[in-house]
Amino acid sequence: MNTSRFRRIPLIIFLTALCSSAAVGIWIFLFGEFGITEVDILLTTIALTYYSLAGLSSMAVRKVGKIQTYFSNLCLIFYTLAFIYTVVVIWGFMDTDLLEVQYILVLKTVAFSLAQISLILLIQPSKKFIKILKFVTVVFIAVVTTLLSRFFLNDFEFSKELTYRLLGVLAIIDVLGTLTTPVLNSWFKRYQK
């Protein structure tokens, strides 16, 4: 089998899932009565859309290098398992309580962070400074993800106010690094010549 065709299969699946989810969601909002089944379908389409977008982000790094391909594959496995767990909880195949909601929030946070890291991995640093900034950004993403997960699993609270402040500061640095790293890299590439 042609490897480029094999690489396109997940992309086609994600795009099809995204379009199908959008169509179902629009139909429910326009014509639905918001009964239990329709709400479950809507929640499932939202989950499918969320994990499909995360999957698309991870698919983007597949051609960058061998390590990025492994990372992308691990992300795709994670998204699939997280989606299955989310659907099992939504459709009531297991007793749902606060703990399952907390797990879903952790899964979504990790999925978002993996997608964010995937996009950061696309950057081909033009300077050593950008390489360091890229690494530091990934570290901050991981720390913010860990703190947010801890927050969700501790019944949405921290024991000390300082932890809230720390999370806020680290999240701002995370976003700042995510936005400035590609911009600075592009700027250095443009003016390096």
**End-to-end Cα separation, the chain, in angstroms:** 42
Phi then psi for 118, rounded to 5 degrees? -60, -45
pLDDT of residue 110: 92
Q: 6: Cβ–Cβ under 8 A, 6 or more apart, which residues?
A: none
Distance from C-alpha of 118 to C-alpha of 108, rounded to nearest angstrom: 15
pLDDT of residue 11: 73
Handedness of CA 68, 71, 76, 82 (dihedral sign): negative
Domain boundaries, the chain: 1-96, 123-193
Length reported for the chain: 193
pLDDT of residue 76: 87
pLDDT of residue 145: 95
Single-letter amino acid, residue 181? T
pLDDT of residue 135: 96
pLDDT of residue 141: 96
DSSP assignment, residue 16?
Answer: H
Mean pLDDT, consecutive 10-residue segments, the chain of 193 residues? 64 80 85 85 86 83 80 87 90 82 90 90 91 96 95 88 91 93 89 71
Please give the model's pTM, rounded to 2 decimal places: 0.78
46 touches 59 (CB < 8 A): no
